[in-house]
Amino acid sequence: MISRPDSASVTSTRPAHIRSRKSFDHSPMLVFYELTRACDLVCLHCRACSQEQSDPNELATKQSKLLIDQLSEFPDPPMLILTGGDPLKRSDIYELIEYAVASGIDVSITPSPTPLVNRDSIRRLRDAGISRMAISVDGADAATHDATRGVAGSFDHSMKMLRIARELGVQTQINTTLTPGNVEQIEAMGDLFGTLDIALWAAFFLIPVGRATDMQRLNADQCEEAFARLRAQARVQPFMLKTTEAPHFRRYVIQNQSKQTDAEPRGFISAGVNDGKGVMFVSHTGEVFPTGFLPIHCGNFPSDNIVDVYQNSPTFRMLRDSDRLEGKCGVCEFRNLCGGSRARAFGVTGNPMAEEPDCNYIPPAFHGTAPCPPLAPPPAFSPA
């Protein structure tokens, strides 16, 4: 049964980018739809283990439109991010974007930086109504980026496409997966990205899933160092900055505010968005997961209604309950604002509620020196 909060507690006309933590119980802020796993790149850290050809079992156009219809059934309809693989490998991509936009859904896309992304396709994405295009750039130079992406020339193509998008009036963001191989380029990447008129830089922290299972990730101390450098970039660059799968960046920012006038970075999200809490992922074949980085199966679309899965799946409900957190995360005073990456906890330990493996903060309550205080709900926020 799909639960419907009473009208006094939900404003159905509330913009998709305005959410409070309480609303996550009934509506995600972001729904990622993996249109296909077909892709022409062989990225070392690919979550999807992409392949050359489309899966014959991927959702067809009619099913994809039904999925979009169900997004409108949420009390607060989410933003839809079309991803892959490479979503431009789908011949119906523009039709699906137009359908979603006509349904009142805000749509963004994360195409792979291949020749499929060109002036013509970017213009068609714009005309179909796309809100933002995200391009992955994993280094400040071609050598670093191309080594990660597995295709020579990928870096130069990404730079060209970002500039063309700016010329065509398409809002852009850059996604970067931080690893020991590129973390020392944070400042150089920030300076480069600052010249591209992007709206947002999203720094991804590696999760051991897919092809990234055996890749080296930043350890807890290196994460803290990266947080400091990212926060410094957020203060001097023209774009907003956020982290993905590093909710402890919120803890770092709050802890390091020297005074009330010390502003949070633009794009900073403090209301506890996390795996399965404000986020949902639908695979190319309709499998439903908390996120693409947390491969715990929660349902199958279209046999299962995605609203019902998000609201009532035991896994989703568990992930939204900070009282279920274990280890030091369970007693941390930042457990509602941060909560640690549930995907990383699962990838490292097999337990999605285990403590964040790559956080070096020790809460006072973990030593029994102070009780874990209750946290007041944060105000509604506007994410990047």
Q: What is the pLDDT of residue 266?
A: 54
Question: pLDDT of 75-88, one tens digit each?
Answer: 999 999 999 889 99
- Answer yes or no: CATH 1.10.630.10 is held by domain 23-321: no
Q: Specify the pLDDT at position 258.
A: 67
**Residue spans per domain, the chain:** 23-321
The label of the residue with tokens 């990928």 reads 154
Span 121-180, pLDDT tens digits:
999 999 999 999 999 999 999 999 888 777 788 899 999 999 999 999 999 999 999 999
Q: What angle do CA 372, 321, 353 make, to 5 degrees?
A: 85
pTM score, whole prediction: 0.86
**CB atoms closer than 10 angstroms to residue 332:** 27
Single-letter amino acid code for the residue at 122: I
Q: How far is CA 349 from the centre of its chain?
A: 22
353: number of Cβ within 10 Å: 20
pLDDT per residue as tens digits for the range 29-83? 999 999 998 886 655 555 454 566 677 899 999 999 999 999 999 999 999 999 9
Structure tokens at 358: 């790559």
